[in-house]
């Protein structure tokens, strides 16, 4: 089989970012990269805030946040009255968990593809309330139909008080059939939290079309917003039950303001986020998605070939627009969290390449992303040098 052809670069896209050109930034999925225009918009807001903090926080800020929320909700295809801006997807998940009113004997069901910080939040809330956490194993190569059937079999109606599933999985770069899973859970009366941390900007799917009780997603990854910008979307029946992690002055206003307002929080990332959405739209969302997905597929193949991984053993993401791809590392490499972190640091230090390395189900995995600032040569250089680094132990 031939290596997939890399896409043509988007003219001028690299110049939109202030990334260090001496480093190959192949891990957009972890922290994103903020375009220069968005950075400048946020800095203007910071300058406004510091010029007169009292005026900034007390004269119209709640209205500005509301206007921004409506703009971002429209981009997500979500009900603005059911959308609250939060710092990140993990924060949104924590808000949902502590608002459920879990009791002893209740259960929170997750899959083994979930994000680690969300798993910590589940464990803490279960430990605090006496509920239990149960993890559902899902094979990496499972089809969408198989995933849905596994979830169906894993639900315990009456006991399962929340199912958490990822829209795009972080450790395994896999697209889950979120809407179908929500449909199955609804048949059994189980509410669902969809972790869409990687979805905004990377997928064209609207939040409303998924139909989840709760959905959280970051805009500071694939939608070019400043870091610290995410959305928590709550279906109408649950909104009055949602409580913030910290109570502040908008508590009596109800959801979503009671969740958004945290007094002296820095709100400039949220207020500048529409500039990130504008940047994406200026480039053309479909064009960006196609470019990034093709580039990630190219990177997966050339690095996989360099490591001697047969094409048939390279995981498929389950969707044609995913800009995240997985490459299995050799047996015995990065099989623990600490080892994975150490390998990621070695690759960064010695190969000047930023990648994601995870330990999942007893094996080490390399996750590569494609973004408009990347070029094929960056993946080629990593492929040429990585085998030697791994051989050095």
pLDDT tens for each residue of 323-381: 999 999 999 999 999 999 999 999 999 999 999 999 999 999 999 999 999 999 999 99
Mean pLDDT of 273-291: 97
> In which band, very low, low, confident or very high, does the pLDDT at 289 lie, cut at 50, 70 and 90?
very high
Residue 1: per-residue pLDDT = 55
DSSP 301-361: HHHHHHTT--GGGSPP-SSTT--EEEEEPPTTSS-SHHHHHHHHHHHHHHH-EE-EEEEET
Model pLDDT, residue 43: 98
What CATH number was assigned to the domain covering residues 13-33+284-391?
3.90.1150.10
As annotated, the residues of the chain forming the CATH 3.40.640.10 domain(s) are 38-278
pLDDT for the residue numbered 317: 82
Q: Is 81 strand, coil or helix?
A: helix
Assigned CATH for 38-278: 3.40.640.10
User: Is 147 a residue whose pLDDT tops 80?
Assistant: yes
Does the N-terminal peptide bond of residue 347 adopt cis geometry, omega within 30 degrees of 0?
no
3-state SS of the chain: helix, strand, coil percent to 5? 45, 15, 40
- Whole-model pTM? 0.96
CA–CA separation, 212 and 196 (whole Å): 11
| Residue ranges, CATH 3.90.1150.10, the chain | 13-33+284-391
- How much is the pLDDT for 319? 75
> Percentage of residues in the chain with pLDDT exceeding 90?
96
What is the three-class DSSP state of 161? strand
CA distances from 275 to 11, 16, 224, 284 (A): 20, 13, 8, 14
Q: How high does pLDDT run on average in the chain?
A: 96
Q: Report the candidate in 71, 127, 92 with the shortest Cα–Cα distance to residue 270.
A: 71
Q: Quick check: 283 pLDDT over 60? A: yes
Q: Is the pLDDT of residue 316 over 90?
A: no
- % of the chain beyond a pLDDT of 70: 99
Chain segment 61-105, per-residue pLDDT in tens: 999 999 999 999 999 999 999 999 999 999 999 999 999 999 999
> How much is the average pLDDT of 247-272?
95
């Amino acid at each position: 089989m031939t290596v997939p052809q890399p896409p043509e670069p988007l003219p001028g896209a690299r110049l939109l970012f202030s990334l260090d050109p001496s480093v190959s930034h192949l891990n957009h999925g972890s922290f994103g990269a903020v375009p220069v225009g968005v950075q400048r918009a946020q800095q203007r807001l910071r300058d406004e805030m510091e010029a007169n903090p009292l005026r900034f926080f007390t004269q119209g800020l709640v209205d500005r946040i509301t206007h921004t929320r409506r703009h971002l909700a429209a981009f997500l295809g979500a009900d603005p009255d059911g959308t609250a801006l939060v710092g990140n997807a993990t924060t949104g998940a924590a808000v949902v968990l502590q608002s459920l009113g879990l009791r002893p004997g209740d259960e929170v069901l997750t899959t083994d593809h979930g994000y680690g910080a969300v798993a910590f939040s589940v464990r803490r809330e279960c430990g605090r309330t006496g509920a239990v956490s149960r993890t559902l194993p899902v094979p990496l190569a499972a089809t969408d139909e198989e995933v849905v059937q596994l979830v169906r079999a894993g639900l315990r109606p009456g006991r399962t008080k929340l199912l958490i599933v990822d829209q795009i999985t972080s450790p395994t770069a896999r697209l889950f059939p979120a809407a179908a899973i929500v449909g199955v859970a609804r048949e059994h009366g189980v509410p669902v939290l969809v972790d869409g941390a990687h979805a905004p900007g990377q997928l064209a799917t609207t939040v409303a079309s998924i139909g989840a009780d709760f959905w959280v997603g970051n805009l500071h990854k694939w939608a070019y917003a400043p870091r610290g910008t995410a959305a928590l979307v709550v279906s109408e029946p649950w909104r009055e039950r949602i409580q913030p992690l910290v109570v502040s002055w908008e508590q009596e206003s109800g959801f979503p303001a009671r969740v958004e307002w945290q007094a002296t929080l820095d709100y400039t990332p949220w207020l500048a986020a529409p500039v990130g959405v504008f940047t994406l739209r200026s480039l053309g969302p479909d064009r960006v998605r196609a470019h990034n997905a093709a580039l990630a597929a190219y990177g997966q193949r050339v690095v996989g070939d360099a490591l001697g991984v047969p094409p048939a053993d390279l995981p498929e993401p389950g969707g044609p627009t995913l800009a995240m791809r997985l490459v299995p590392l050799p047996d015995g490499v990065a099989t623990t969290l600490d080892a994975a972190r150490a390998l990621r640091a070695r690759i960064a230090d010695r190969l000047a390449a930023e990648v994601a390395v995870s330990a999942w189900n007893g094996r080490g995995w390399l996750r590569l992303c494609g973004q408009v600032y990347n070029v094929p040569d960056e993946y080629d250089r990593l492929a040429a040098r990585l085998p030697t680094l791994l051989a050095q132990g």
